[in-house]
Chain A
């Protein structure tokens, strides 16, 4: 079956512009996570969606970052007024319903964002 897909695979933008990144999770996965990986760093948690519950936004680095999810399907991560420090690979992962037990997170290939 299809895995997690993300688009675009690469995005180059100018400082100050807004960008929107898309994630299509595995069908039937109720949990969806966004992470980012800056150069030389580990993956950093950004936001978590679970079903129709309010998302956990505790990892978002600033109010320029927001994300939405339509039901249990597509999610979009929006970065407004991009800055050079936003340059990173943005990774999306989905899993069967947590919490209480660990369910494997399946990652997409990521979107490489470059802010000039």
Chain B
């Protein structure tokens, strides 16, 4: 049973526009959420995170929004650039865990010039 779900396997966006990647979770014990970015043949790299006590975290072009009541988070990339083309993974962990991340299946973002 998947605890972290990314229902869109792919997303295509025009350069300069906004990319919105969505993630849903089922475990209300999760208290920290992260987005990782992965290029082919490389390991995932950390992008941005958010604690469950917040509803928004912003870092440059990247903003993560958390809606706890809906158990939903989203990653906004504005403006999108061709170099943002990658697979984006949503991940979560809960307090008291040893830090092992629970990942979604990923969304492949393609930003077209």
In the assembled complex, the CB of B46 is this many whole angstroms from the nearest CB of chain A, namely 5
Q: Determine the chain A residues whose CB is within 8 A of the CB of B101 once the complex forms.
A: 33, 35, 43, 45, 105
A109 touches B43 (CB 8 A): yes
Given contacts A41-B105, A43-B103, A102-B93, contact A50 B42 (CB under 8 A): no
Q: In the complex, which residues of chain B have a beta carbon less than 8 angstroms from the beta carbon of A50?
A: 98
Residues of B within 8 A of A59 (CB): 100
Q: Per-residue CB proximity of B79-113 to A under 8 Å, as 1/0?
A: 00000000001010100111111111110000000
Give residues 34-49 of B contacting A (CB, 8 Å). Answer: 34, 36, 41-46, 49
Residues of A in contact with B, size category: 20 to 34
Partner of A45, one of B96, B102, B106: B102
A108-B99 in contact given A42-B105, A102-B32 (Cβ < 8 Å): no
A44 CB–B CB distance under 8 Å: yes
Judged by a CB distance under 8 angstroms, whether B4 is at the interface is yes
In the complex, which range does the number of interface residues on chain B fall in? 20 to 34
Q: Are A31 and B46 in contact, with the CB atoms below 8 A?
A: no
| One of A40, A43, A102, A110 near B99 (C-beta < 8 A) | A102
| A95: Cβ under 8 A from any B Cβ | yes
Q: What is the CB-to-nearest-CB distance from B36 to chain A, in angstroms, rounded to a whole number? A: 8
Find out whether the CB atom of B100 lies under 8 angstroms from the CB atom of A45: yes
